[in-house]
Structure 1
Amino acid sequence: MQSARVSGGESASPPEITEIREQLERILASDEFLAPERGRRFLEYVVEETLAGRADYLKAYTIAQEVFTRDPSFDAQNDPVVRIEAGRIRRGLERYYLVAGQADPIEITIPKGAYVPCFRYAAAAGRPLDQTEDEDAFGIVSESPKPVVAAEHRDGPSRLSWAWYALPAAVAFAALIAITSFFFPVPLGRKSAPASMSLVTPKVLVEQFEEISKEGGPSDIARGLTDEVIGELAKFKEIAVITRVPAAGPGIQQEEPRFALQGGVRVGGDKLRLNVRLVHRADGSVIWASNYDRDLRVQDILEVEADVAQRVATALAQPYGVIFQADEARIAQSPPDDWDAYACTLSYYSYRVDLNPQNHDAVLDCLKRTTARLPTYSTAWALLSLTYLDEVRFQFQLDMRRLGEPLALAFDTAKRAVDLDPQNARALQALMLADFFKGDVDAGIRAGAAAYAINPNDTEVAGEYGFRLAFSGKWDTGCELMSTAINRNPGPIGYYEVGLAVCAYMRGDYQAAELWVRMADLKYNPMHHLVLLAVFGAEGKLEDAHQEETWLRANAPALLANIRKEVAIRLQRPTDQDRFLAGLRSAGITISP
């Protein structure tokens, strides 16, 4: 039987043509392959042309004529439709393999800069998709870089890999708010009756976007954009989205939404602009405003609506987004008596700024009170699970009298969160981490894929999912997802910078790894210091390595005493574990068998 040629040479045994066509059918039939009809025609066309031996003819001109019915005067420089659609298909394929196609036998990709697809087996000789025996962690066939031994030093720095750390500077997050200002215990003598769930999340009134232009059609666009924004905002469980102010009546108290989202749509020729703003309803002050411009020649209106709505929802509702920053400042100035649960949510994310262990127990206690007061509040159970888990992954075991193993508690509370709301992405994020640290990596990745599918706009979900993918051995996909999440996250990103430091370390770029981990500056976090120790060992910077070792022995002595086990908990594959441990050995750390 004839075999398809594999572009890139990842496998010595390329897939058969029938196998590739079966895989193409799986992708096109899947609801998780998010592409319009013309995008599906695009993918089918380039795959079939390649299988027919006509890959050399896959140029923008021929694709424009065959798929997009452009006339012979088509000019790719003035009409970028093929290039844009190719980018959309690449993203659609990436999402498909993240969410639905993890167990598929064949991988189909379209490399950047070309339209010829590549085909390869998802696992060669039982090895994981992202790395074969002769490949490094990023699929580059080369000799694995070896850290220098402790007695040696490098003659000069390696060339920096700028693509991995030349990211836009993160927006500075407000200084850590005093945790005690968030906690509001029920006074003695007053019953702690279950509170209304409306009190635990901020309400956002999404007003119908206005039609500004009069050129015909924009009223439908305004309605469509409003509906899309409502749908994307509703994926975030930390806020409540409403479309009208509830009517008040005798004896009925209704909480007024504090925020209103307003927008106006203007269409002029082929250009569309959405002006949108978040308003504090009490005084009409504008908290945030932005505009989004799109070219309707490049994207059809449904794609514009979906894209813009996702960007608006991410800016407003993600952790550390506009709404959270506004409420954090307000609670710090005047703590309300009825926001205990939401205040705990904000305190959790404030603690996440620098992962200071001194604030860990206070956040844990607050979340315990919240779940006792609101036993059906899924998000509180999810955050409680994540806080329990920090005792394991960050060695925050401050209170040895605490009942129950932290990992068991993290798993139980994560399960409770998912049982209460299976569509809560934060709950599935917590379950992903609990499964991962329990050693059930496959279950963890499945939970992470489900969380990411529910709300890819949540940068905490996307970043943490990328973290787990990378550390399970899928370095290409995971590190790229982490990098993307960092670019979209307006809050503290040090945790993910440490993850990208490990990404750089695993591909042998120790100078980039050092830069990433120094940027993270999580001075309280043992994992931050452990990664620095391995990097310094790999670079031969023994004096710097000794300082990190001294810090770890003083602040996390159990970590180095059980270093092989601790590394194995985090890095799934033995080859990755050995590569990381080699850096520690080069730093002078004794690794027991």
Structure 2
Amino acid sequence: MPPADQVRDALERILASDVFARSERARDLLRYLVEQDVAGNADRLKGFSIGVDVFHKDDQFDPATDTVVRVQAGRLRDLLQQYYEGDGASDPLRISVPRGSYVPEYHVADSTVACVASAATPEQNDVGKTANRRALPFLAIGLLLLAVLGGVAGYRSFAPPSPGSADVQGVQRAAAPFGFSDTTGSVPGDLLPSVYMSVEAGDYGGERIAAAVRRGLSGFDTVHVIAPPMQPGESGKVRRTDFLFLIGQASTPGEVHVELQNVSNGKVVLSRNLAIADRDQRAIEDIVADLLTTVASVSGVLYADLAENRAETPLARCLTLNEAFYRDQQADAHRTAYECFEDLRNARVSSALIYAELAALHMQSIVNRYDYPEQASEQQALDYARRAVQLAPSSPSAHRAMGYVLSRTANLSEAMRWVHKAYALNEFDLSMAASYGYALIFAGDYAAGTPILHRAVMAASAHPTWWDYGLFLGRFMLGEMEAASSAVSPLASSDRAHYLAARLVVAYELGDREKVDALLGRLRAGNSAFAANPEAFFRKGNYPESLTNRLVETLRAAGLMGAS
């Protein structure tokens, strides 16, 4: 944490600015959060205490039903962003309040690394300590963090089809509703699809879903969330990129109906009944996380609808091209995505997403030795990532990109800290959770990574099989063989060598000799190279030493190696 006098100086500059002059509540809230943190009372920064101390609620205040603290915190984050895009652009120390927390963070403007508040959560401290104990090569963690960068792509196969890179280029050239001149100088929200909400279910269940949807959507920096509901008579202002979440009662008791509509044409993009009877808050948040991962990510139904209707903004088009590259990493797809973001940057469009994706793509050009851009450098990738964090200190995408860049230029613990922060900023993105859990498992931290990956697998209505495989690895190393058996069940239809090996390991550990013999036969018949030397596969994949040794030992005991 920076010196207290520097923090207080930064605070007073913010409070004295024109941006904050119009909001007494935001000034009171920010002063309270920072002063409590500086005084060492970060553990007091909870919804209840803030409601009582700042907004003068009585001791019956319930932050779960009274949203004043969450609403004002969201307003505060918006004002901080406005301040740092204007009067505070040159401030040497920046203050942010990340989504999902009320503990301030402090960022030194000319430093690569954000100075996180000293009162980090025990989970954050444990992750940092664990990462420091690991000596995973940079290439290994770089590949894992690439899974984080492209992790959402695995979800696309369960969303409605969207154009491939060639089709998207056609959309870009042919029928865009906005030109660069329309967006130059615009705030980022103008470049993204907007999501409004309308809550028609007045019961407690509907309000719980609505609160979770609002909170979850605010973590996705791929959409612009509009808090006030869309008012009648504003039809003339409707854009083709406006969407509306309708939350109402379902016909079945104990369920809430959720519907996503394209406002411009009335098309229902998604419709679900959410069963919430007897569900606790965490279970409801997991239901909403599945919903929002399906909707709000670039691989989700919302962006697919934009592409289908040729209604993408320039930034949305670039994000879709970027998604196409991570699904099929070819040099031409990389250049198309890179040039798209460059066009926006050259048009002086200000968005953390632009610089975050430029940072990752720039690093990809180095890793994969692409010809474009010429003279790519790690320093340039780092500059892009730093700019993304400066533009939006609470952006998951900015933190994710910084983690990837640092995996190539700094130490593992620092890279993992940034990726952990990206996950913490948006726990409603199940693909991010799965990728972070997977990365922890491949860093050898099975106890930390397995529960995170388990939550993603259990919450998602559909997911790629690498989630199940990663969960198997974690369960196996924790000695939880019954749970490992459940994890490999979805792999039964695949003939991939490492999936067959996972099922073989489980069958051997559970004493199922008939299944062991059948799987040995399939591995030897169709995967002879793996069967002859599985250790080479695991080492090439940068599996942790402990995991490699135990897998090889078990496969040998099962009869895979050394048998005719």
Equivalent position SS for 1:419: helix
**Residue in 2 that maps onto 1:425:** 396
The 5-angstrom pairing of residues 460-475 of structure 1 reads 460-475=431-446
CA distance in 1, matches of 2:502, 2:282: 44
Taking the aligned partners of 2:500 and 2:372, their CA distance within structure 1 comes to: 27
Name the counterpart of 1:293: 275
The answer to whether the Cα contact below 8 Å between 1:320 and 1:490 also exists between their aligned partners in 2 is no
Distance 1:576 1:278 in 2: 43
Kindly state the Cα deviation for residue 236 of structure 1 after the two structures are TM-superposed.
Answer: 0.8
Q: Does structure 2 conserve the Cα–Cα contact (< 8 Å) formed by 1:498 and 1:520?
A: no
Asked if residue 194 in structure 1 is aligned to residue 184 in structure 2, the reply is yes
Q: Secondary structure at the match of 1:382?
A: helix
The question of 1:321 aligning with 2:321 is answered no
Counterpart position of 2:314: 340
Q: Residue 369 of structure 2 aligns with which residue?
A: 397
Matched with 1:134 is: none
Aligned equivalent of 1:179: 165
Within-5 A mapping of 1:474-493:
474-488=445-459, 493=464
TM-score with structure 2 setting the length: 0.54
Sequence identity of aligned pairs in percent?
Answer: 17
1:580 and 1:221 mapped to 2: Cα distance? 46
Shift of 1:278: 1.1
Contact kept in structure 2, 1:533 and 1:548, CA below 8 Å: no
Query: Residue 279 of structure 1: SS of its match in structure 2?
Result: strand
Match of 2:382?
411
Change in 2 beyond 3 A, CA 1:200/1:534: farther
Aligned length: 397
Amino acid at match of 1:339: T
Shift of residue 362, structure 1, vs aligned partner: 2.5
For 2:255, what is the secondary structure of its paired residue?
strand
CA distance in 2 between partners of 1:347 and 1:418 (Å): 22
Q: Which residue of 2 aligns with 1:17?
A: none
1:127-146 to 2 correspondences below 5 Å: none
Contact conserved, 2:335 with 2:372, CA < 8 A, in 1?
no
Q: How does 1:151-550 map to 2 (within 5 A)?
A: 172-173=158-159, 177-183=163-169, 184=172, 194=184, 196=186, 197-211=188-202, 218=203, 222=206, 225-242=209-226, 243-245=228-230, 255=239, 258-265=242-249, 272-295=254-277, 299=280, 309-330=288-309, 335-336=310-311, 339-355=313-329, 359-391=333-365, 396-399=368-371, 402-405=374-377, 407-488=378-459, 493=464, 496=467, 499=470
Give the match's secondary structure for 2:274.
Answer: strand
Q: 1:290 to 1:254 in 2, by over 3 A?
A: closer
Structure 2 match to 1:100: 121
Does the CA contact (< 8 Å) of 2:250 and 2:273 recur in 1? no
Q: Distance in 1 between matches of 2:462 and 2:299?
A: 5
Give secondary structure in 1 for the equivalent of 2:327.
coil
1:202 shift after superposition: 0.9
State the 1:348 CA deviation: 2.2
Say which SS state the counterpart of residue 353 (structure 2) adopts. helix
Aligned-partner SS, 1:288: strand
Return the alpha-carbon distance in structure 1 between the equivalents of residues 338 and 257 of structure 2. Answer: 40
Deviation by residue 1:29-86 (Cα, 9 ceiling, x = unmatched): 84799999xxxxxxxxxxxxxxxxxxxxxxxxxxxxxxxxxxxxxxxxxxxxxxxxxx
**C-alpha spacing 1:31/1:287, structure 2 compared with 1 (3 Å):** farther
Tell me the alpha carbon deviations over residues 194-219 of structure 1, each in whole angstroms, 9 at most, x when there is no partner: 163344211112113343xxxxxx3x
1-structure distance, mates of 2:454, 2:369: 30
CA pair 34-577 structure 1, distance change in 2 beyond 3 A: farther
TM-score by length of 1: 0.52
Structure 1 residues 483 and 272: CA distance shift in structure 2, 3 A: closer
Q: Distance between the aligned counterparts of 1:399 and 1:548, measured in 2?
A: 34
Q: Taking structure 1 as reference, are residues 34 and 353 closer, same or farther at Cα in structure 2, changes over 3 Å only?
A: farther
Superposed displacement of residue 410, structure 1: 3.8
1:209-234: CA deviation from partner (whole Å, max 9, x where unpaired): 343xxxxxx3x665564344223212
Give distance in 2, aligned partners of 1:358 and 1:582: 43
Tell me the distance in 1 between the aligned counterparts of 2:156 and 2:372. 37
Partner-residue secondary structure (3-state), 1:413:
helix
**Deviation at 1:237?**
0.9
Q: Equivalents in 2 of 1:519, 1:233: separation in Å?
A: 35
Alpha-carbon distance between aligned partners in 2 of 1:378 and 1:261, rounded to the nearest angstrom: 25
Instruction: Give, in whole Å, the separation in 1 of the partners of 2:476 and 2:276.
Output: 39
Q: Secondary structure at the match of 1:295?
A: coil
Change (3 A) 1:186 1:374: farther
User: Cα 1:101–1:370, aligned 2, differ >3 Å: closer, same or farther?
Assistant: same
Tell me the CA shift for residue 238 of structure 1. 0.5
Q: For the Cα contact (< 8 Å) 1:497–1:519, is it kept in 2?
A: no
What's the CA shift for 1:448?
Answer: 2.1
The offset of 1:457, in angstroms, is: 0.8
Deviation at 1:408, TM superposition (A): 4.4
Query: Closer, same or farther in 2 for the Cα pair 1:545/1:399, shift >3 Å?
Result: farther
Q: Which has the higher helix share?
A: 2
Change (3 A) 1:35 1:347: farther
> Could you list the per-position Cα deviations for residues 286-339 of structure 1 after superposition, in whole angstroms to 9, with x for gaps in the alignment?
22111223335x64xx77875665454344223433323323433xxxx34x62
Aligned to 1:14: none
Letter of the 1:464 counterpart:
S
User: 1: CA distance between counterparts of 2:427 and 2:411?
Assistant: 23
Which has the higher Rg, Structure 1 or Structure 2?
Answer: 1
Q: 1:248 to 1:258 in 2, by over 3 A?
A: same
1:170–1:493 Cα contact (<8 Å) kept = no
